[in-house]
Amino acid sequence: MSDPELDELRRRKLRELEQQAVREEAHQAQRAEADAQKQAILRAALTPEARERLNRVAMVRPELAANLEAQIVQLAAAGRLASPITDEQLKQVLAQSEQGRRDIKIERR
């Protein structure tokens, strides 16, 4: 390849990388905005005690906490929550979700 062709390939690759970086920044900004909206909805939909409990559950079982958060956001967005969810109500929901879970115990002999 001659130098002009090589320079053109380099410029094209540099433009592609810059465009990709811009797209990634935009995507990251959208995720941050969506997360901020979700947190605002959760603050309004949960009492402080219930939020603390949900945060503790997220440390131990992140998938369960993510599912609960999604359900709470859906209920709040649909207007089906008359008042904020209390800690006791959240405990009941967690207990119901644990009923279907199987515990596996290993005994050594």
Rounded to an integer, the average pLDDT of 71-94 is 91
Query: What's the fold here for domain 3-93?
Result: Helicase, Ruva Protein; domain 3 (1.10.8)
Helix, strand or coil, per DSSP, at residue 1: coil
Domain boundaries, the chain: 3-93
Q: Which two three-digit tokens encode residue 13?
A: 């690759």
- pLDDT at 101 > cutoff 80: no
- Residues paired with 85 in a beta bridge: 46
CA atoms of 88 and 21, how far apart (whole Å): 46
pLDDT tens digits, residue range 2-29? 788 999 999 999 999 999 999 999 999 9
